[in-house]
């Protein structure tokens, strides 16, 4: 089959491209913005790329087009596609029909933690010798890739609640038909497409309806929105997980917190093992419980699952430690919601309580730019000693006035050069800096790292 993918450089669509290529299809693609690292990865796979949509023609040799959800009516490629009469599908629909049909699908859904939990689950299955396929919205460091076809019936998919395509406004995850479903948590997000929390719960309810009665739903046991979801109807056995409630099916607690932390896991109230790892935070402990529950449902032993977690290396840009430069520790994180920001900062605080935490954020998601969570944002920075915000003209709110209650610990910059200069003027040895954005942060992580390394080398040679 010859397929052309529109919006191929997005993480999800790039993963679909890799899977299609591995399955033996001829794949090409186009995107408005063709740049590394995705463009590099795709070209290494031998997938030709076109930049821009204006001159795109759909030749007679194509069997179908796969359309990313970033494209809408009025886009030149979409209008050309519709005029051509070529069959077209959304990414999730194509994936479901061409990859997942004969798979035991293990899906991870939720507002926060999907990428990390999916990565943990895929790694546990792989460590157990089950050779799963996967499609994840990030790069698990144990694999170094975001998607692979796998060599078994098992397939792990990060199940996103964002809409599917311009012609299909259901959530992506309704296409996947999982046998095992983990729900990490549910909050209001994606305000650009969902008017309220109830609209999101409705989409999750459609997902729950597709899980078979012999499957499993592993659900956050301390999330009232998840409780409300399951109260709407569930026809599948449910296990709960919690790092707060020992009455949950799966529970856990930290025994030791440090550079190498240790945690214990209980199943139905009985301790079943422990593991050491380098990850941070209460939220990652709950991610691990969700992954462990799902993996055990697929037949993995608890002891094997815990061994795998002890060797889990994390996910790029998920509280990803870039290194220590001039005594300053740099982390990069994908957090773009107040709850995620709060969890990330709390996790870093557990490491070295006496050291300054410098939080740096780019409000870039559609929901954040709209200002939907601006009131909750102030509380999210409680653990930070200093807060820097990279503002932009497309924000519907003013960070300086909205976050004025933060007082002297707030600095708002209206350009990345201004922000970089301010950080370099203030940062000192011992600081822990967390750079948070769901975009590329205008290359700030790399720019700051390079500047600190250069300053460090200059000081050593002086």
**Residues 226 and 369 placed together within one structural domain of the fold:** no
Q: What is the largest CA-CA distance in the chain?
A: 69
* Residue 139 near residue 118 (C-beta atoms within 8 A): no
Preceding omega of 37 cis (within 30 degrees of 0)? yes
Cα angle 37-39-43, degrees, rounded to a multiple of 5? 120
Does residue 358 belong to any structural domain of this protein? yes
**Residues 261 and 117 placed together within one structural domain of the fold:** yes
**Residues 294 and 228 placed together within one structural domain of the fold:** yes
**113-163 per-position pLDDT tens digit:** 999 999 999 999 999 999 999 999 888 999 998 999 999 999 999 999 999
This prediction has a pTM of 0.88
* Residue 65 near residue 58 (C-beta atoms within 8 A): yes
DSSP3 helix / strand / coil % (the chain, rounded to 5): 35, 25, 40
Q: Is 462 helix (H, G, I), strand (E, B) or coil?
A: coil
Strand order in the sheet with 26-31: 49-51, 26-31, 2-6, 64-67, 88-90
Residues 6 or more apart whose Cβ sits within 8 Å of residue 334: 115, 138, 317, 318, 340, 436, 437, 438
Nearest one of 92, 65, 90 to 172, comparing CA atoms: 92
Residue 266: predicted pLDDT: 96
Does residue 113 belong to any structural domain of this protein? yes
Which residues of the chain carry a pLDDT beneath 70?
Answer: 36, 459-462
Nearest one of 237, 241, 244 to 221, comparing CA atoms: 241
Does residue 315 belong to any structural domain of this protein? no
**Residues 290 and 399 placed together within one structural domain of the fold:** no
Does residue 453 belong to any structural domain of this protein? yes
**Residues 117 and 248 placed together within one structural domain of the fold:** yes
**Residues 181 and 255 placed together within one structural domain of the fold:** yes
Does residue 139 belong to any structural domain of this protein? yes
Query: What's the CATH code of the domain at 60?
Result: 3.40.50.720
Number of domains observed in the structure of the chain: 3
Query: What's the CATH code of the domain at 452?
Result: 3.90.190.20
Asked whether the CA dihedral 388, 114, 191, 89 is positive or negative, the reply is positive
**Residues 43 and 105 placed together within one structural domain of the fold:** no
Does residue 105 belong to any structural domain of this protein? yes
* DSSP state string for 21-90: HHTT-EEEEEES---TTHHHHHHHTT--EEE-STT----TT--EEEE-TT--TT-HHHHHHHHHT--EEE
Asked whether the CA dihedral 113, 114, 115, 120 is positive or negative, the reply is positive
- Single out the residue in 65, 91, 117 at which a domain terminates: 91
Alpha-carbon span 288 to 305, nearest angstrom: 10
Nearest one of 208, 428, 178, 407 to 298, comparing CA atoms: 178
Half-sphere exposure of 306 (CA within 13 A, CB side): 17
- Single out the residue in 310, 341, 366 at which a domain terminates: 310
Give the phi and the psi of residue 329 in degrees, each rounded to 5: -90, 125
Nearest one of 165, 130, 166 to 151, comparing CA atoms: 130
Query: What's the CATH code of the domain at 233?
Result: 3.40.1190.10
Nearest one of 60, 63, 79, 61 to 71, comparing CA atoms: 79
* Burial group, residue 189, by CB count within 10 angstroms (0-12, 13-18, 19+): buried
**Residues 68 and 210 placed together within one structural domain of the fold:** no
Domain interval for residue 348: 320-461
**Residues 367 and 453 placed together within one structural domain of the fold:** yes
**Residues 83 and 114 placed together within one structural domain of the fold:** no
**Residues 194 and 300 placed together within one structural domain of the fold:** yes
Strand order in the sheet with 147-148: 147-148, 133-135, 154-158, 104-109, 180-183, 216-220, 238-242, 250-256, 261-267, 270-277
Alpha-carbon span 22 to 19, nearest angstrom: 5
Does residue 220 belong to any structural domain of this protein? yes
**Residues 167 and 277 placed together within one structural domain of the fold:** yes
Residues 6 or more apart whose Cβ sits within 8 Å of residue 460: none
Does residue 180 belong to any structural domain of this protein? yes
- Single out the residue in 287, 310, 333 at which a domain terminates: 310
């Amino acid at each position: 089959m010859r397929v052309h993918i529109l919006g191929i450089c997005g993480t999800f669509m790039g993963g679909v491209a890799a899977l299609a290529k591995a399955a033996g299809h001829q794949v090409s693609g186009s995107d408005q913005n063709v740049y590394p690292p995705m463009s590099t990865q795709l070209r290494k796979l031998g997938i030709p790329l076109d930049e821009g949509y204006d001159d795109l023609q759909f030749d007679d040799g194509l069997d179908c087009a796969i359309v990313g959800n970033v494209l809408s009516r009025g886009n030149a490629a979409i209008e050309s596609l519709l005029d051509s009469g070529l069959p077209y599908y959304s990414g999730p629909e194509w994936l479901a029909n061409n990859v997942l049909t004969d798979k035991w699908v293990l899906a991870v859904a939720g507002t926060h933690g999907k990428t990390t939990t999916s990565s943990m689950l895929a790694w546990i299955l792989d460590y157990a010798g089950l050779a799963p396929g996967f499609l994840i919205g990030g790069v698990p460091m144990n694999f170094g890739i975001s998607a692979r076809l796998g060599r078994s019936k098992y397939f792990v998919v990060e199940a996103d609640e964002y809409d599917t395509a311009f012609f299909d406004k259901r959530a992506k995850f309704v296409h996947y038909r999982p046998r095992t479903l983990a729900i990490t948590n549910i909050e209001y997000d994606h305000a650009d497409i969902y008017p309220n929390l109830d609209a999101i719960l409705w989409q999750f309810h459609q997902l729950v309806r597709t899980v078979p009665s012999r499957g499993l739903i592993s659900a956050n046991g301390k999330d009232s929105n998840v409780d409300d979801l399951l109260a709407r109807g569930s026809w599948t056995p449910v296990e709960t997980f919690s790092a707060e409630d020992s009455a949950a099916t799966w529970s856990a607690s930290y025994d030791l917190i440090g550079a190498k932390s240790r945690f214990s896991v209980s199943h139905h109230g009985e301790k079943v093992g422990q593991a050491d790892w380098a990850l941070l935070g209460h939220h990652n402990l709950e991610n691990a419980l969700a992954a462990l529950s799902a993996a055990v449902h697929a037949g993995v032993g608890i002891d094997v699952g815990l061994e795998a977690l002890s060797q889990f290396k994390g996910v790029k840009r998920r509280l990803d430690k870039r290194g220590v430069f001039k005594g300053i520790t740099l982390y990069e994180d994908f957090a773009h919601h107040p709850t995620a920001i709060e969890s990330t900062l709390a996790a870093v605080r557990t490491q070295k309580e006496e050291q300054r935490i410098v939080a740096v954020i780019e409000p870039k998601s559609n929901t954040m730019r709209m200002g939907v969570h601006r009131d909750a944002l102030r509380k999210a920075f409680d653990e930070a000693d200093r807060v820097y915000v990279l503002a932009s003209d497309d924000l519907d709110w003013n960070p300086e006035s909205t976050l004025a209650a933060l007082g002297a610990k707030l600095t708002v910059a209206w350009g990345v050069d201004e922000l970089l200069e301010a950080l370099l003027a203030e940062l000192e040895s011992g600081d822990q800096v967390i750079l948070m954005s769901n975009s590329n942060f205008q290359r700030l992580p790399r720019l700051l790292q390079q500047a600190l390394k250069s300053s460090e080398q200059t000081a050593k040679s002086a």
